Amino acid sequence: MGAQLRVYKRRIRSVTATKKITKAMEMIAASRIVKAQRQVAASTPYATELTRAVTAVATGSTTKHPLTTEAETPGRAAILLITSDRGLAGGYSSNAIKAAERLTERLRGEGKEVVTYVIGRKGVAYYGFRERKIEDSWTGFTDSPTYEDAKRAAAPLIEAVTQETAAGGVDELHIVYTEFVSMMTQNPVDNRMLPLSLDATKEEGGKGEILPLFDFEPSAEDVLDALLPRYVESRIYNALLQAAASEHAARRRAMKSATDNAGELIKTLSRLANAARQAEITQEISEIVGGASALADATAGSDK
């Protein structure tokens, strides 16, 4: 076998192996999207009921709570950025990071100091490499987040919000994650979680229905105190689940194009290998024919 042909064969073998891997990853991601979507759907009743309850308390009572009132001069804002732990998901993490960067820029433009919280190794690596300060980070659960994970991430955020700004607290809480629209579309979005803007919660939960006057047990303040942390947790949980579904969808798409690409490459390489093989055969034949005729010429000459 000629040297060139051997090189082609080797490359075809390696690309075939890669194709097998990417194909497997594509199928794993595809099966996980369905699971993640189901989790999003399962968490929806809790989220909608909670949103309804929060809207009810916030509209139905005149209670002032640090988590619902806007600071007059917001000085610090926290951003919670949700990225993935693993790569090979196309532009998934970098799109989310870009959205967070844009939001940071905007908030800085409004004269606010920004503190960043990051979920996912990719985000941590991005900020770590650029030596930017991360207030806190969590990794290791972006594939299939549980409610416990959401609680863990929510705890310091809630604490920061309830603290005074001067004592290291924050006035605003934003969350940046990738919204799962469909199998083909995932958008990085930024939402302001706190202080609550009632219009937004109304849109999500109430849909314009008139809420009844509630009787609060034990009191509106206590209910709100208990409700808001849960609300933040549930919002973070929902964002984590959507981000997980988006991550799998993005990975499936990236792996599908990698598989297609590998197929294309194999096709081109086998064409080249075939051409090389044919060229080799042609050359061998012409060598044999040339050699034979030279031999025949030599013998014919010696006969004379």
Partner 1 sequence: MAAELHVELVAADRSVWSGEANLVVARTTSGDIGVMPGHQPLLGVLESGPVTIRTSDGGTVVAAVHGGFISFADDKLSLLAEIAELADEIDVQRAERALERAKSDTDAASERRAEVRLRAVAVR
**Residues of the shown chain interacting with partner 1 in the complex, contacts defined by CB under 8 A:** 39, 42-43, 45-46, 49-50, 52-53, 56-57, 146-147, 151, 211-218, 222-223, 226-227, 230, 233-234, 237
Q: Which is nearer to partner 1, 145 or 188 (CB)?
A: 145
- Work out how close the CB of 47 gets to partner 1 at its nearest, in angstroms, rounded to a whole number: 9
- Work out how close the CB of 253 gets to partner 1 at its nearest, in angstroms, rounded to a whole number: 27
Q: Which is nearer to partner 1, 85 or 221 (CB)?
A: 221
Q: Which is nearer to partner 1, 167 or 213 (CB)?
A: 213
* DSSP string covering 67-115: TTSPPSS--EEEEEEE--SS--STTHHHHHHHHHHHHHHHHHHTT-EEE
- Work out how close the CB of 276 gets to partner 1 at its nearest, in angstroms, rounded to a whole number: 58
The beta-carbon contacts of 255-261 under 8 Å, at least 24 apart in sequence, are 255/22, 255/23, 255/25, 255/26, 255/29, 255/88, 256/26, 258/18, 258/22, 258/26, 259/19, 259/22, 259/23, 259/26
Q: Do the strands 113-119 and 186-194 form a parallel or antiparallel pair, or are they unpaired?
A: unpaired
CA distance 91 to 115: 24
Q: How far is CA 139 from CA 20, 69, 82, in A?
A: 29, 32, 10
Residue 178's DSSP bridge partners are 188
- Work out how close the CB of 171 gets to partner 1 at its nearest, in angstroms, rounded to a whole number: 26
Q: How far is CA 85 from the centre of its chain?
A: 9
- Work out how close the CB of 39 gets to partner 1 at its nearest, in angstroms, rounded to a whole number: 7
- Work out how close the CB of 241 gets to partner 1 at its nearest, in angstroms, rounded to a whole number: 9
Q: Which is nearer to partner 1, 154 or 258 (CB)?
A: 154
Q: Which is nearer to partner 1, 42 or 279 (CB)?
A: 42
Contacts of 163 (CB under 8 A, 6+ apart): 169, 170
Q: Which is nearer to partner 1, 156 or 214 (CB)?
A: 214
